[in-house]
Structure formats: C-alpha cells, structure tokens
Amino acid sequence: MGYVTTDDGVEIYYKDWGPKDAPVIFFHHGWPLSADDWDAQLMFFVGEGFRVIASDRRGHGRSQQVWDGHDMDHYADDTAAVVKHLGVQGATHVGHSTGGGVVVRYITRHPEDKVAAGVLISAVPPLMVKTADNPDGIDKSVFDDFQKNTAENRSQFFHDVPAGPFYNYDQDGVEASDPVIDNWWRQGMMGGAKAHTDGIAAFSQTDFREEMKGIEIPMLVLHGEHDQVVPFEISGKKSAEILPNATLISYPGFPHGMPTTEAATINKDLLAFLRR
C-alpha cells in the first residue's frame, strides 16, 4: 500500500498485493467508493497466484480531495501514474460501474501501455444519459437528482442508495445486509463531496461509443440483468455489441453491486477469462 503523485500534483492511494512476478490485475472501483470495494476479488485472486492492484480515484477513499479533475481523462491519467510507478504495464484492467469507464478511457488514452485485456462489470459505457442519438438512455434529470442529493445530504443519500437499488435490497425476496450497507456508506463518506458530485456527470455523460470501436484486445463484459443503477439493456448489452472482441455474460436477477453480493460467481467467471 502506498501513494503516488500525479503529474498535476495529486496524491493517489493504491494497494499492491501479491508476488511481484505474478500476472497483474488492476481493479477500478465504482462511484463513490474506494479500492476497498474490491475486497472479495483482491483476496480471491491473491489466493489464485495473481498480483492485484487497486487504487482510490482522486477525491475518493484515501486519495487527495482535490476540487478539480473529476473526469475520465484525469481518472485515466491517474491510473497511468500508478502503472508507471509500479511498472505494471501489460496488466488486465477490471472496472466496476464508473471504473469500467476508466478502463475504456485508459486503454484508448494510453496506448503506450499494451494492456492485456479489459473487463467491464456493471459498467457505465457506452453512454448512460439520454440524448438525441441515444434515445433509450436515462433522462438527465435522474443524474441531476443524484447530484442534488449528494451535495445537500450526502450522508443520508449514501445510506439510501446501498439500502435500495445498488444491491436490489428494495426488491421482494432480497434480504438486506446491514454490514454491506454500512461498508458502502463508510467508503463513500471517506471521499469528498465535490469529487462525488462532479463524478456523477463524469459517469453519466461521458460518451465512449466511438473509442470503444477501436479497442481490439479481448474484453469481458459482465452485467446483471436486474441492474437498477446501470441497466443492462443500455450498457452491458450495447458495450458487447460495440467492442470488436467482446465476450458477454449476463446474469438474471443480479444487482448492480454484484461483485460484492455475488462474488463467488463473478470471481469464477473472471478467473476463467484470465486463464483462457
């Protein structure tokens, strides 16, 4: 565990576990969380002989709470700083939710790193917000409400999201876990309100469609069919159609936060992809 300073002077926190000569997996977390959200994957893949790396995005978790740079370009450049510092070029990059957008932007913005493969889990690409040429997207008012609630009463909102749609705990027959909800809240409240508010625009309004067409490396797309936060039909399904070399696995009933609640299944399918 340590810190690296980016070219624009931001301290980025990272975890680096496992043998230095082992195959590397770099994990990118979702909004508004931290590298801790990958606990179930970090422990599993270390046990399988991999070197695992996960960083907190700027303004999130233990990284510096700067007021600017909360966009996909800066997120990708911050990743490049960690990769360069640790010398882990050629890794497999795995992103959940917003982190999936970071994976796409890192691959396309930093071609000097010959990434081995990418994995998008419940990820925001290709484009979430509804526009004239993306008519089945989500109305911008939804994300405006997200920003309003984050800015005005973040503590309450960061309870309501995991207690409701993030893990499908608001659905009939789904038993809520208070510790899982509390851990989501803990991670969110570690970060900065400015980063979280700006990050909503980054994950909802960034258009990845054109750049995804040029990603030729193997890409695994994992998505829950009952994802209430990033709906499968507008995200995972479309990403698999756009990416030239994609493998899609969808899961009936799985929620947005499936790396936590469905870790056994996600880890198994990710391991199979890595050992293909």
Judge residue 194's burial from the number of C-beta atoms within 10 Å of its C-beta, 0-12 exposed, 13-18 middle, 19 or more buried. Answer: middle
Among residues 187, 262, 202, 164, which one has the least CA distance to residue 72?
A: 202
Tell me the one-letter amino acid at 211.
E
Distance CA 191, CA 17 (A): 23
Q: Is 239 a known active-site residue? A: no
Q: Which of 36, 227, 235, 239 is catalytic?
A: 227
The tens digit of pLDDT for each residue in 153-166 reads: 999 999 999 999 99
Q: Are 94 and 28 in contact (CB under 8 A)?
A: yes
- Are 40 and 50 in contact by the 8 Å Cβ rule? The answer is no
The pLDDT, as a whole number, for residue 191 is 98
Look at residue 15 in the predicted model and tell me its pLDDT: 98
Task: Give the pLDDT band (50/70/90) at residue 94.
Answer: very high
Q: How confident is the model at residue 92 (pLDDT cuts 50, 70, 90)?
A: very high
Q: Is 256 a catalytic residue?
A: yes
pLDDT of residue 172: 95
Q: For residue 96, is pLDDT > 80? A: yes
Q: What's the pLDDT band for 151 if we cut at 50, 70, 90?
A: very high
Which of 86, 95, 83, 84 lies closest to 29 in space, CA to CA?
Answer: 95
Which residue of the set 34, 97, 204, 235 is catalytic?
A: 97
Q: Which CATH number is 211's domain given?
A: 3.40.50.1820
How many angstroms separate the CA atoms of 197 and 150, rounded? 6
Handedness of CA 273, 246, 265, 100 (dihedral sign): positive
Q: In sequence order, what DSSP letters do the residues of 217-233 get, joined into one string?
A: S-EEEEEETT-SSS-GG
Residue 157 is predicted with a pLDDT of 98
Number of folded domains that form the chain: 1
Residue for token digits 């899982």? 180
**The two structure tokens encoding residue 65:** 């709470």
pLDDT at 204 (0 to 100)? 98
- Rounded to an integer, what distance in angstroms lies between the CA atom of residue 72 and that of residue 66? 15
d(CA 227, CA 90): 31
Q: What pLDDT is stored for residue 18 in this prediction?
A: 98
Domain boundaries, position 177: 2-274
The residue from 74, 93, 223, 256 that is catalytic is: 256
pLDDT in the model for residue 221: 98
145-153's contacts with Cβ under 8 Å and 24+ in sequence apart are: 146/200, 146/204, 147/197, 147/200, 147/201, 150/32, 150/193, 150/196, 150/197, 150/200, 151/193, 151/197
Active site residue 70: no
The strand ranges marked E within the chain are 2-5, 11-17, 24-28, 51-55, 92-96, 117-121, 219-224, 246-251
What pLDDT is attached to residue 133? Answer: 96
Q: What is the pLDDT of residues 170-228, one digit of tens each?
A: 999 999 999 999 999 999 999 999 999 999 999 999 999 999 999 999 999 999 999 99
On the question of pLDDT at 1 being above 80, the answer is no
Q: Give pLDDT tens digits for 212-269.
A: 999 999 999 999 999 999 999 999 999 999 999 999 999 999 999 999 999 999 999 9
Average pLDDT value for the chain: 98
CA 44/CA 120 separation, integer angstroms: 18
